[in-house]
Amino acid sequence: MLQTPYYLIDKAKLLQNMEKIAYVRERSGAKALLALKCFATWAVFDLMRDYMDGTTSSSLNEVRLGQQRFGKETHAYSVAYADYEIDEVVSHADKIIFNSISQLERFADRASGVVRGLRLNPQISSSSFDLADPARPFSRLGEWDATKVEGMMDRISGFMIHNNCENSDFGLFDRMLGEIEAKFGTLLKKAEWVSLGGGIHFTGENYPVDAFADRLSAFSQHYGVQVYLEPGEASITKSTTLETTVLDTLYNGKHLAVVDSSIEAHMLDLLIYRENAKLRPNAGPHRYMVCGKSCLAGDIFGEFDFEQELKIGDRISFQDAAGYTMVKKNWFNGVKMPAIAVKELDGTIRTVREFTYADYEQSLS
Tell me the per-residue pLDDT of 145-204, one tens digit each, with 9 for 90 and over. Answer: 999 999 999 999 999 999 999 999 999 999 999 999 999 999 999 999 999 999 999 999
Helix (H) / strand (E) element for 210: namely helix 209-223
**pLDDT of 1 over the 90 cut:** no
**Cα 1 from Cα 308, distance rounded (Å):** 24
Binning pLDDT at 50, 70 and 90, where does residue 310 land?
Answer: very high
Residue 94 neighbours by CB under 8 Å, 6+ apart: 54, 73, 74, 75, 114, 115
Q: Which class for 152: exposed (0-12), middle (13-18), buried (19 or more C-beta within 10 A)?
A: middle
What is the structure's pLDDT at 122?
97
**Angle of the 209-223 helix axis to the 170-189 helix axis, nearest 10:** 10
**Inter-CA distances, 25 with 19, 77, 214, Å:** 10, 22, 11
What is the structure's pLDDT at 148?
97
Average pLDDT over residues 331-340: 98
Helix (H) / strand (E) element for 264: namely helix 263-266
**Cα 68 from Cα 60, distance rounded (Å):** 12
Binning pLDDT at 50, 70 and 90, where does residue 100 land?
Answer: very high
First to last CA, the chain: 32
Residue 72, classed as helix, strand or coil, is: coil
What is the structure's pLDDT at 29?
98
Give bridge partners of residue 118 from the DSSP assignment: 98, 159
Work out the number of other CB atoms within 10 angstroms of the CB of residue 247.
16
- pTM for the full predicted model: 0.96
Give bridge partners of residue 250 from the DSSP assignment: 256
What radius of gyration, in Å, describes the C-alpha atoms of the chain? 22
- Which of 163, 101, 111 has its CA nearest to residue 132? 163
Sign of CA dihedral 308, 313, 315, 321: positive
Binning pLDDT at 50, 70 and 90, where does residue 63 land?
Answer: very high
**pLDDT of 343 over the 90 cut:** yes
